[in-house]
Amino acid sequence: MKSLLAGILGAISLAALASTASAETTLTIATVNNGDMIRMQGLTEDFTKANPDIKLEWVTLEENVLREKVTTDIATKGGQFDVLTIGTYEVPIWGKKGWLVPLTQVDDPADLLPAIAGGLTVDGKLMASPFYGESSMVMYRTDLVEAAGEKMPDAPTWADIKRIADKITNKDKEIYGVCLRGKAGWGENMAFLTATSNSFGARWFDENWKPQFDQKEWKDTLDFYLELMKADGPPGASSNGFNENLALFNAGKCGMWIDATVAASFVTNPKDSKVADKVGFALAPDNGLGKRGNWLWAWSLAIPAGTQKEDAAQKFISWATSKHYTELVAGKEGWANVPPGTRTSLYANPEYAKVPFAKMTLDSINSADPTKPTVKPVPYVGVQFVAIPEFAGIATTVGQIFSAALAGEKTADEALAEAQDVTTREMTKAGYIK
């Protein structure tokens, strides 16, 4: 018994020693699982050759797991990470709280796309450097639109979308005019609906942080969305997020899909898509009010305050988001695989201009303004989100309410009234409404 106990304790002590041993300049990088980030992990030899004293260790996680883990760590100053991959939603909030170190060694910061850099800047300081940026746009089946006797404008209105969707829909053949997000979540259906509501002139809050779901603009948005999806959407749309719609579109079931610009490379990849050679692109729709229904997002690299390895982290971020890295990817894997949506110089490059969705991605990003996201003035920053800590929780609840409306469990009026109540209650509790 004694020897068993001693053995166990010995093994645990050895494991403890092993776990605490680490090199002085080892950077622990927390990152999301997307193609661009995974590609970077394979190209880091270029960085470590130039910086032999810095070792890189990657912790790759699913977006929501990563967000939860990194938030816990940074809020408690746990110090588990030296470089973080964070989204446009977190940067202004964490930057204001002093949780991030301003970046001082970013390669040619003036070259960053103004719309993207604007969302990552707090009090004039760049808090995160964009690695990959995206907006949203219309992806459509050229063959189905043509067969319907229509032509998709480069900058369509919502009325165009509805008309074309009505003509394409053939439920007997399981062809649906339009596929849109319906799955509940602040980054799922609410990203789409918030961006769409901007083009209808709606806003989450007025200048005094009063929720606006009781206003006509939100009613117009939700009525339009529900009617469009009822007439032309696929069955079970309230469970569909990005990946579900991607699967439907690639299987040839959707006439149009309005979603992230990053999807362009997936739907045009003949390996995974049955309709790869029949896809066209257009800007996200508008309603003639001066704002389009597209969002703006970037995965960016940042340094948590309190890391002991700030200098090495600055060097790494400078390399990973540099023009040199872009050229490295282009040289090894081709221009279509370069992380998009971060630098002006990339879109001025004639080689990159040959990528079929390059121009539409740039136009979509440029048409979004996180500081003036909608028609009326707002007290917040963010196009498809509101950059306050309470937003994720509130929008997830509102997303569940709207998803239930899409599933037919409640009417648009009931959903909006409930959303107004929930948001008012939470904003009052948080102290925004006195």
What residues line the site for another protein (CB under 8 A)?
Answer: 1, 5, 8, 11-13, 15-16, 18-20, 22, 28, 32-35, 38, 41, 57, 59-65, 68-69, 72-73, 75-81, 187, 241-243, 246-248, 250-251, 253, 260, 262-263, 266, 271-273
* Least distance in angstroms from the C-beta of 383 to another protein: 17
Nearer to another protein, 246 or 419 (CB): 246
Residue 313: strand, helix, or coil: helix
* Least distance in angstroms from the C-beta of 69 to another protein: 6
User: Any idea what the Cα angle at residue 33 is, between residues 272 and 284, rounded to 5°?
Assistant: 65
Q: Is 298 exposed, middle or buried (0-12, 13-18, 19+ CB in 10 A)?
A: buried
The two structure tokens encoding residue 346: 């990339």
Nearer to another protein, 246 or 416 (CB): 246
Nearer to another protein, 90 or 418 (CB): 90
* Least distance in angstroms from the C-beta of 336 to another protein: 15
- Residue 416 CB-half CA count within 13 A: 20
Nearer to another protein, 57 or 351 (CB): 57
The answer to whether 208 and 228 are in contact (CB under 8 A) is no
Nearer to another protein, 209 or 281 (CB): 281
Nearer to another protein, 72 or 345 (CB): 72
- Name the one residue in this structure whose structure tokens are 């309005």: 258
* Least distance in angstroms from the C-beta of 187 to another protein: 7
**Integer CA distances (angstroms), 15 to 8, 55, 303, in order:** 11, 22, 29
The answer to whether 55 and 86 are in contact (CB under 8 A) is no
The two structure tokens encoding residue 264: 């362009």
- Name the one residue in this structure whose structure tokens are 């901007």: 198
* Least distance in angstroms from the C-beta of 110 to another protein: 29
* Least distance in angstroms from the C-beta of 38 to another protein: 7
The two structure tokens encoding residue 339: 């992380």
> Which uninterrupted H or E stretch holds 228?
helix 216-232
